[in-house]
Amino acid sequence: MSSPRIHSDTIQEVKDRSDIYDIISEKVVLKRRGKDFVGLCPFHEEKSPSFTVSPSRQMYYCFGCGAAGNGIKFLMELDKSSFADVVLDLARRYNVPVKTESPEQHQEFQKTLSLREKLYEILAIATSFYQHALRQPQGEAALEYLKFSRRLGEETIQEFQLGYAPAGWETIYGYLVEQKHFPVELVEKAGLIVPRKAGNGYYDRFRDRLIIPIYDIQGRVIGFGGRSLGDEQPKYLNSPETELFDKGRTLFCLDRAKKAISQQDMAVVVEGYFDAIALHAAGINYVVASLGTALSINQIRLLLRYTESKQIILNFDADAAGTKATERAIGEIETLAYRGEVNLRILNLPNGKDADEYLYIHTRHDYQDLLEKSPYFLEWQIHQIVGGKSIENVAESQRIATAMVELLRKVQDLNQRTAYIQSCAEILSQGQSRLIPMLADSLRKQINKPLVQNQQNKASDSRKSDLIISAQRDRTLLEKAEGLLLRIYLHCPEYRQEIIKALEAENLEFSLTNHRFLWIKISEIELSLQEQKPREDIDLISQLQNFDREHSSEISEVSHLFYLNEKTINDIERPSIGIRAATASLEWVLCEKRYLQYLDKWKKTDIKLNLELAEYYQQQLYAEQKRMKELEQLRMVKFSELTF
């Protein structure tokens, strides 16, 4: 059945009710200029604002690149969304009833359209349930923890809608499914319950945990974070990926912080939920938190929409884990920082404390003073290079100087580089000022030194190392993607045909030997039994476990895919999303291999002698690169968070 068209009356009402300032101000920092507003254009790079928004005309126009249109076109261009998707999103936002052009399709269309709203409703009711449970005798320990261990006031507890998930295995299941009569499939899609391995029912995802609701940018609950109150691991458990919740594109507290970030023209990123809550409670409300995963470039770009100066301060823990998290975050966004697209600074609190602990004995003004003094990320990295090492030792001093040179080579701005060379020379001089000019000159020469043969060899070795790392990364990605497909195929029979179609559509195959062996054996079993029963009815796991001794060693290598635990159940609980992500990952690896092959051929082609061939390779490189970017968008499941 073809997709129904949105009725023209609905489109017109969306246009009438929506406000262009509301729409664009969520994506661009706008400042009033007369009757209009101006900001930096999101469609091209610029340093001076040339992007104008006119509320009176409900139009935007960029004097730099010529982009222009209304609110609907803005969202279509910025988010690369279809006209229908944008209209439907705005209709939900402004409570516009949706009508379709085909009356006979209206009921089915409304059912599809309401899925997300039903999930929002379920999560909102679950939030109230958890809040209520916190006030019951069973939630007494959780409430005491919040008030005494975390020192949160009643107002803060209510503001953040903190709650408690009772210890029972089917408490939220019983409330939502049996009492409120929500379909069990929807409650599962909301990420609140998990199907039992034996297939005889469901159990609650969150049990005997403090519950912290996670909100989208509009302030709607899209998931939860659950902190264990005892020794249960993990200490923090998040909702899984759902139709509403994407960890890599969500920041805790951004709905509350976005206005303050624009007003303060800066954003602070902390690691934990309670760090963010404590800072907001102290009146420092331009703070967000990552969601227990490495800070991604998508999350940073989300923050950059709200600060004109692009100033972001990372305040992660100062322990070893926090330092690694900071280094990972810098590695993720340093390209933006070197290009001046983000003004990145790092704050480590004294005595290794996190923000929550620091505020126990200090005021918000103390914290704000530290923010103002927080070093630029390069200064922090230099401190990491030097910290705890003995500069007096000649060999150690040389290693420190070499690391400094490698770091400062990345700095493109000459004035900035000169300043850091001087700073590094002062550190290496150990207080002997007469040595500073000589050390600075030595650092400068090493940074500017052209590649000699030995360095070229090192560069070649580095490229080989990069290829090895790339191959290792691709193998890890293949292991996770292929493993996910096989796990879904074995444990979700109704999705087997979908997997086959997805593989055949892009001519994909299993690359790893053990996975290829398992896939061949599955095909053999299905072929031998196809006359007796459909593919979906075959108990593949039992058949595979009955293989003779000849294949026992090969089967043992993949037997871990035959079993599920609570963690791996999470991995396959959204089969269609998992299949889409996994096949996109397989295709991405193939694209990368083709890209590297074309790149190697392009480098070896003499442009003067064979311009046409060189241009062909360039076109292929562009095509592969474009496809890889498209596939990145399809990889919805975060394979780094899955267990295989």
The strand pairing partners of 54, in sequence order, are 59
Averaged pLDDT for residues 433-437: 87
3-state secondary structure 179-212: HCCCCHHHHHHCCCEEECCCCCCEEECCCCEEEE
- Asked if residue 294 lies in contact with residue 325, where contact means CB atoms within 8 angstroms, the answer is yes
Chain CA centroid to CA 515, Å: 28
Together in a domain, 159 and 259: no
Tell me what pLDDT residue 394 has: 80
Q: Are strands 221-228 and 209-215 parallel, antiparallel or unpaired?
A: antiparallel
Tell me what pLDDT residue 562 has: 84
CATH number reported for the structural domain that contains residue 22 in this entry:
3.90.580.10
Together in a domain, 475 and 594: yes
pLDDT surpassing 90 at residue 59 = no
Q: In whole angstroms, what is the distance from residue 387 CA to residue 535 CA?
A: 61
pLDDT surpassing 80 at residue 456 = no
pLDDT surpassing 60 at residue 550 = no
Tell me what pLDDT residue 566 has: 66
Read off the pLDDT of residues 412-425 as tens digits, 9 standing for 90 and up: 778 888 889 999 99
Band (133; pLDDT cuts 50, 70, 90): very high
For the chain, give the percent of residues with pLDDT over 70: 89
Together in a domain, 429 and 552: no
Band (238; pLDDT cuts 50, 70, 90): very high
CATH number reported for the structural domain that contains residue 194 in this entry:
3.90.980.10
Q: Which residue has the higher pLDDT, 89 or 102?
A: 89
Determine phi and psi for 214, rounding to 5 degrees. -110, 130
pLDDT surpassing 70 at residue 623 = yes
pLDDT surpassing 80 at residue 390 = no
Q: Which residue has the higher pLDDT, 153 or 576?
A: 153
Read off the pLDDT of residues 478-509 as tens digits, 9 standing for 90 and up: 888 898 999 999 888 888 888 998 888 888 88
Number of domains the chain contains: 5
* Structure token digits, residue 594: 């083709």
Together in a domain, 361 and 295: yes
Together in a domain, 30 and 169: no
Query: Domain boundary residue among 77, 111, 145?
Result: 111
Output the CA torsion sign for 158, 162, 167, 173.
positive
Query: Domain boundary residue among 57, 78, 111?
Result: 111
* Structure token digits, residue 407: 């770091």
Tell me what pLDDT residue 274 has: 94
457 falls within a domain: no
Per-range mean pLDDT, top range of 211-215, 297-301, 491-495: 211-215
Whole-structure pTM value = 0.59
211 falls within a domain: yes
Together in a domain, 525 and 603: yes
Averaged pLDDT for residues 562-572: 74
- Asked if residue 14 lies in contact with residue 94, where contact means CB atoms within 8 angstroms, the answer is yes
Q: Which residue has the higher pLDDT, 609 or 186?
A: 186
Q: Which residue has the higher pLDDT, 275 or 391?
A: 275
Of the candidates 25, 55, 28, the one whose C-alpha atom is nearest the C-alpha of residue 44 is 28
Tell me what pLDDT residue 144 has: 95
Q: Are strands 287-289 and 267-270 parallel, antiparallel or unpaired?
A: parallel
Of the candidates 36, 20, 39, the one whose C-alpha atom is nearest the C-alpha of residue 28 is 39
Together in a domain, 482 and 334: no
Averaged pLDDT for residues 378-392: 86
Least confident of 259-273, 377-391, 539-553: 539-553
Tell me what pLDDT residue 567 has: 66
Query: Domain boundary residue among 347, 374, 401?
Result: 374
Together in a domain, 523 and 475: yes
625 falls within a domain: yes
Together in a domain, 486 and 613: yes
Tell me what pLDDT residue 635 has: 63
463 falls within a domain: no
Would you give the DSSP letter of residue 560?
Answer: G
- Asked if residue 86 lies in contact with residue 72, where contact means CB atoms within 8 angstroms, the answer is yes
pLDDT surpassing 60 at residue 465 = no
Tell me what pLDDT residue 109 has: 59
Together in a domain, 473 and 587: yes
Together in a domain, 291 and 398: no
Averaged pLDDT for residues 580-588: 89
Q: Which residue has the higher pLDDT, 169 or 293?
A: 169
For residue 59, the SS3 value is strand
152 falls within a domain: yes
Averaged pLDDT for residues 121-146: 94
pLDDT surpassing 80 at residue 279 = yes
Q: Which residue has the higher pLDDT, 412 or 202?
A: 202
pLDDT surpassing 70 at residue 588 = yes
Tell me what pLDDT residue 269 has: 95
Averaged pLDDT for residues 177-191: 93
Averaged pLDDT for residues 587-605: 84
Averaged pLDDT for residues 280-285: 95
CA dihedral 560, 561, 565, 566 (to 10 degrees): 140
Tell me what pLDDT residue 211 has: 97
Tell me what pLDDT residue 604 has: 83
Q: In whole angstroms, what is the distance from residue 621 CA to residue 298 CA?
A: 25
> 291: which residues sit within 8 A by CB, 6+ positions away?
214, 225, 238, 247, 250, 251, 252
Averaged pLDDT for residues 83-103: 81
Per-range mean pLDDT, top range of 37-46, 58-67, 182-191: 182-191
Q: Which residue has the higher pLDDT, 145 or 614?
A: 145
Averaged pLDDT for residues 539-561: 72
pLDDT surpassing 60 at residue 571 = yes
- Start-end of H helices in 430-565: 436-448, 453-491, 496-505, 513-529, 540-545, 552-558
Averaged pLDDT for residues 451-473: 48
Band (457; pLDDT cuts 50, 70, 90): very low
Together in a domain, 494 and 596: yes
- Asked if residue 39 lies in contact with residue 30, where contact means CB atoms within 8 angstroms, the answer is yes
* Structure token digits, residue 449: 């030194």
The domain containing residue 178 runs over which residues? Answer: 115-245
459 falls within a domain: no
For the chain, give the percent of residues with pLDDT over 90: 29
Q: Give how far Cα 144 sits from Cα of 33, 126, 282, Å.
A: 51, 21, 20
460 falls within a domain: no
Averaged pLDDT for residues 541-564: 72
Band (641; pLDDT cuts 50, 70, 90): very low
518 falls within a domain: yes
Averaged pLDDT for residues 119-147: 94
Averaged pLDDT for residues 364-392: 89
Tell me what pLDDT residue 460 has: 46
Output the CA torsion sign for 63, 65, 66, 68.
negative
Per-range mean pLDDT, top range of 10-14, 30-34, 168-172, 471-475: 168-172
Mean pLDDT of the chain: 83
